[in-house]
Chain A
């Protein structure tokens, strides 16, 4: 009876060859370890999987993009297993990239460690039952037990384990409670009790697809897996899902007793944050708190110290001194003093010439040392060799880029990810997405896009990477365009704010309305013109909870590290490219090319074009150049509008090219130049 009646003998011979080599050609098979037992961690988003992963693997973790995707997969080893972490998913299917990657890794797994949130069983058990239906060896960790207890949720672990047919270990990962039993727990993994009628169906399929797991995917209509085995995808996904959902509900009735508590603070906060009336003030308070922390404390106090003192005064001077020891340099030392008004002023300046480096002329070097010894100095190094300029000059890869990355960007990115992790762990983030959903619909986005948009105010490069979490390619495209065109990053915001402060309230209002108009226009136009449909919002709102410091810190660190690792090379490449353009004179040619447009069309001083091109290096350099030009308030509006609309910096261009592909990336980049000068010119026509 196991033979499928729907297949003729011809069909069987036709599919037989596929069964023999069924997983040789998948990218997952090549990506994963071949020698050790493959232990794969699977769970819904935010269940604490990473704590398990770190516990099981220790220090040596390798994070890499899954072949053909931008989804990252962490891999580590311990004496017994090759351990893989998968992206957080709601189920095994192919609705998005994360699910496809998780699916492919799960299919290759020897043992699955399924981490389940005890507070969230109704959501998480759907995935657990699906994994069980796949017939894999499974061990379940029932995590966040302490919180479930706090909430009065009582779970009969033994009963749960019996009904699932797999071992269940209660844990509180954050305190490592239960972890002492983990080592004994994993080897007990076994196939669980899958749905009886489903099991029969699967057996019929087993002849054509290598395993029960792949059979289930085919039955659930997964086109990719079906194609891999040359069979038709099944059409019963919904029936299977509904039945599985009902099994979850029945299971919960038997296993969980929740002593319903009175209105808790968490429930109250949850309601307030999505209330049509109180939701907005709540959001305003949260945003203001983030602004105080990131915008004031990090961007000004912390970065002021790290960038100006540690970076410019110690690090760069140290590096440049080493270089000038062996290469021809002109060193200009300026003594900085304080004016009565509190500003900086140059008291004295001396220029030292070292045609063969400071080592070759110890007498002059000693004189310079003596002069530099007292007070504050601003030191300018002018190298004679092109190589020294490229690597250690004003925009050098080993001078400016390191200062920028380590002393400016790192604190900011840490600050932003810390805020984001707190919002995420507290459960506010999905509520925020819900609250703003309708306002973003008109731009062809759903509420989730609020995350990259807010991050963009920190660093557009970081935000562009975050667009990965959006549901469809269409949304990623729209969000990337909006970010690159209309969102000024924090480095730039500071300069914009300073310039607008001198230009007055009228200029500020005009500038702000122009940028907001463009922001809306880009989204609306793209939404109307791009083919396809954006995905609607469909989110589960976890209960609001007090974030745990350790969890938050760990998340912040992991995200920051991943970002620095991914983005840093592009900052170096960018700096190198700009330095080469500078040394070869192309940068100047470009500036000269733009200056007629700048004076004739934008009606700004010719030097402003230098500021625009310098924006390539760092958009704030561009804006900073405008300080010195004594522009009228309306000229400030024109200049700032133009500079905001450019793609922020060369690093964000590089990351965009990588994320969106060369064609789309360059289209957006060229578009931003056209748009910047186009809109800037129009504004100039009206205002000047």
Chain B
């Protein structure tokens, strides 16, 4: 079992819903943020802009390659692909 699967399983125990990487969501998807990046500074910067665990967000655009534009706390936030890969979201 690789680390990614182990990580997903460990989350599954607490979270009833499936975790999707933010980078994979489609335009128009609503969801709840479940996990933030490992890096503490990056995580803090996300929180500052209203992307916290438990925040409900709407993906208003996904550019080819995986740049994501979210609506969170009434703001529009753009996240690069590498950042969006590190954020987990529960769709719905």
State whether the Cβ of A122 lies closer than 8 Å to any Cβ in chain B.
yes
List the 5 closest A-B pairs by CB distance, nearest first: A438-B65, A537-B80, A536-B83, A536-B80, A434-B78
Interface of A is mostly: helix
In the assembly, what is the distance between CA of A352 and CA of B52, in Å? 79
With known contacts A237-B40, A245-B50, A537-B67, A274–B80 Cβ distance under 8 A: no
0/1 per residue, B67-88, Cβ < 8 Å to A? 1010001111111111100000
In the complex, chain B residues whose CB is within 8 Å of the CB of A274: 61, 63, 69, 78
State whether the Cβ of A91 lies closer than 8 Å to any Cβ in chain B.
yes
In the assembly, what is the distance between CA of A434 and CA of B67, in Å? 7
State whether the Cβ of A435 lies closer than 8 Å to any Cβ in chain B.
yes
Which of A52-60, A327-335, A491-499, A538-546 is the contact stretch? A538-546
Give the number of residue pairs across the A-B interface with Cβ within 8 Å: 117
Question: Judging by beta carbons under 8 Å apart, are A249 and B73 in contact?
Answer: yes
Listed by A's residue number, 6 A-B pairs whose Cβ atoms lie within 8 Å are A95-B41, A122-B75, A123-B49, A241-B47, A245-B52, A536-B82
0/1 per residue, A109-133, Cβ < 8 Å to B? 0000000000010110010000000
With known contacts A242-B52, A538-B79, A539-B77, A438–B47 Cβ distance under 8 A: no
With known contacts A276-B63, A276-B64, A538-B45, A437–B75 Cβ distance under 8 A: no
Question: Judging by beta carbons under 8 Å apart, are A438 and B48 in contact?
Answer: no
Question: Judging by beta carbons under 8 Å apart, are A437 and B67 in contact?
Answer: yes
Which residue from B42, B47, B80 sits with its C-beta under 8 Å from A245? B47
State whether the Cβ of A252 lies closer than 8 Å to any Cβ in chain B.
yes
In the assembly, what is the distance between CA of A262 and CA of B65, in Å? 31
Shortest Cβ distance from A217 into chain B, in angstroms?
13
In the complex, chain B residues whose CB is within 8 Å of the CB of A221: 40
In the complex, chain A residues whose CB is within 8 Å of the CB of B62: 276
In the complex, residue of chain A having the shortest beta-carbon distance to the beta carbon of B63? A276
Interface of B is mostly: mixed
A: residues with CB less than 8 A from B are 90-91, 93, 95, 120, 122-123, 126, 221, 237-238, 241-242, 245, 248-249, 252, 270-271, 274-276, 279, 430-431, 433-435, 437-439, 441, 446-447, 536-541
Which residue from A90, A249, A271, A431 sits with its C-beta under 8 Å from B48? A90
State whether the Cβ of B29 lies closer than 8 Å to any Cβ in chain A.
no
B: residues with CB less than 8 A from A are 40-50, 52-53, 60-67, 69, 73-83
Question: Judging by beta carbons under 8 Å apart, are A541 and B44 in contact?
Answer: no
With known contacts A536-B82, A541-B69, A238–B61 Cβ distance under 8 A: no
Which residue from B44, B47, B75 sits with its C-beta under 8 Å from A123? B75
Which residue from A123, A249, A538, A541 sits with its C-beta under 8 Å from B46? A538
In the complex, chain A residues whose CB is within 8 Å of the CB of B66: 438
With known contacts A91-B48, A242-B52, A446–B75 Cβ distance under 8 A: no
Question: Judging by beta carbons under 8 Å apart, are B46 and A122 in contact?
Answer: no
Query: 16 more A-B contacts (CB under 8 A) besides A245-B50, A537-B67?
Result: A95-B44, A95-B45, A122-B50, A122-B75, A237-B44, A238-B44, A249-B50, A271-B60, A274-B61, A276-B64, A435-B63, A438-B80, A441-B80, A537-B83, A538-B78, A539-B77
Which residue from A237, A245, A430 sits with its C-beta under 8 Å from B78? A430
Shortest Cβ distance from A234 into chain B, in angstroms?
12
Question: Judging by beta carbons under 8 Å apart, are B42 and A536 in contact?
Answer: yes
Question: Judging by beta carbons under 8 Å apart, are A438 and B75 in contact?
Answer: no
In the assembly, what is the distance between CA of A448 and CA of B73, in Å? 23
In the complex, residue of chain B having the shortest beta-carbon distance to the beta carbon of A534? B82
In the assembly, what is the distance between CA of A371 and CA of B65, in Å? 68
Question: Judging by beta carbons under 8 Å apart, are B79 and A537 in contact?
Answer: yes
With known contacts A434-B67, A435-B63, A438-B64, A538–B77 Cβ distance under 8 A: yes
